[in-house]
Amino acid sequence: MNTLDLDTFLVALYTIADDLYKTHFPNKQIQVGPKLIMNDSEIMTLGLCAQWLKWPERKLLMYVEKHWGAYFPHLLSQSEYNRRFNALAERLSYLVPLIRSQITGYCPSYEIMDCVPVPLMKRCRGEKAKLFKREIANIGKGGSDREWYYGVKLALAVRPKGTISGFILSPAKTAERWSAEYMLCHRNNPLRIPTRVDDLPPSHGKKRVGPDGLLWPKEGIGHSNPGLYLTDRGYTGQWWDAHWDTEYKTRVLTPESYSGMEAEKLRPLHSSSRQVIEDVNEHLSDDLGLNRIGARTDKGLLARIAAKLVAFNIGIWLNQIFDRPTFALTTLFNL
């Protein structure tokens, strides 16, 4: 298995980032601060490289100054770099589904959808948190153990080969079905307004609960809609199934969707087909530090999550180019 040295990896990463940026954001450098001594492609390259290294900004910039001065002769201060990197949040989000479309391969007939908990700080007593507004992050349950955490919920749409085709963020308390509704609605028609809680049918006296805050960013949702998604039990609901089928011509299958004689055969097949998204979640957490975001602002939060997803898709792309195993992210380069 081929392993790149760090300099070769850096050059390959910069080439991909620069080509994509100049193609899709031509002559649109984001100006933050008095001087533009580093271009956006350079900022993006360092930000993506930091995801694999799992280094804080200070350590990254110290390493760059010492070892990569020839590549980055006009290095910014840490505060300037942070501002520039955070300003690229929406563009990084846009690149997540875009990079997926650049990777060669077959066009699948389905995708897998799941929600991943992204904790932002340890939860202590009480329900109040001052780090983010409630429409961005709050306390909810998530993960296979359904533990309480403070943070956001990351909804992912993943191709069978492992590439991420789109994502959306919501507060931790928001139900998975609302993330699916926003993603399917905008993939069907970007100008359409998603279903509101008032649009739902009566619930036999129970209060209907809608999204518990923002569902964002639209730039990361993507446009591909294969018409079939495999999900877990969090997306179960007869009304939702009929709504997605009728309004968006899309079927969302959960383990409860199968019945009759074939259910015993189809449910294990459903579970095995969804295994790829479990692998994606594991690599995002272990290899790219999704469980250690370290953001303090809304822009910083989005920039760091989007950068990890971009880095993940680029990692799969590079593995394909160099004929390596799909998820061999930790052995892409030697440090």
What's the domain count of the chain?
2
Picking from 255, 282, 309, the residue at the C-terminal end of a domain is 282
What is the average pLDDT value for the chain, to the nearest integer?
89
Closest CA to 34 of 83, 69, 101: 83
**Largest Cα–Cα separation, the chain:** 68
Provide the domain limits for residue 235: 108-200+207-282
Query: Looking at the domain assignment, is residue 88 inside a domain?
Result: yes
Q: Are strands 147-158 and 164-171 parallel, antiparallel or unpaired?
A: antiparallel
Query: Looking at the domain assignment, is residue 287 inside a domain?
Result: no
Query: Looking at the domain assignment, is residue 302 inside a domain?
Result: yes
Return d(Cα 324, Cα 287) in angstroms, integer: 16
- 68's tokens: 């990569």
Query: Looking at the domain assignment, is residue 272 inside a domain?
Result: yes
Residues 113 and 253 in one domain: yes
Residues 310 and 172 in one domain: no
Return d(Cα 228, Cα 248) in angstroms, integer: 11
Query: Looking at the domain assignment, is residue 320 inside a domain?
Result: yes
Q: pLDDT tens, 67-103? A: 999 999 889 999 999 999 999 999 999 999 999 888 8
Query: Looking at the domain assignment, is residue 239 inside a domain?
Result: yes
Residues 278 and 132 in one domain: yes
Picking from 263, 282, 301, the residue at the C-terminal end of a domain is 282
Residues 235 and 321 in one domain: no
Residues 9 and 132 in one domain: no
Residues 88 and 218 in one domain: no
Residues 156 and 269 in one domain: yes
pLDDT value of residue 128: 59
CB-count exposure of residue 262 (10 Å: 0-12, 13-18, 19+): exposed
Return d(Cα 219, Cα 199) in angstroms, integer: 25
- 141's tokens: 């349950």
Percent of the chain with pLDDT over 90: 60
- 292's tokens: 């250690």
**Residue 106 — pLDDT band, cuts 50, 70, 90?**
low
Residues 13 and 94 in one domain: yes
Picking from 282, 306, 323, the residue at the C-terminal end of a domain is 282
Query: Looking at the domain assignment, is residue 152 inside a domain?
Result: yes
Q: pLDDT tens, 110-153? A: 999 999 999 998 766 555 556 788 899 998 988 777 788 999 99
Residues 91 and 12 in one domain: yes
Q: Which one-letter DSSP state was computed for residue 206?
A: P
Residues 13 and 136 in one domain: no
**Residue 199 — pLDDT band, cuts 50, 70, 90?**
confident
Residues 185 and 264 in one domain: yes
Contact 296, 252 (CB under 8 A): no
Query: Looking at the domain assignment, is residue 237 inside a domain?
Result: yes
3-class state of residue 49 by DSSP: helix
Q: pLDDT tens, 146-174? A: 788 999 999 999 999 999 999 999 999 99
Residues 260 and 129 in one domain: yes
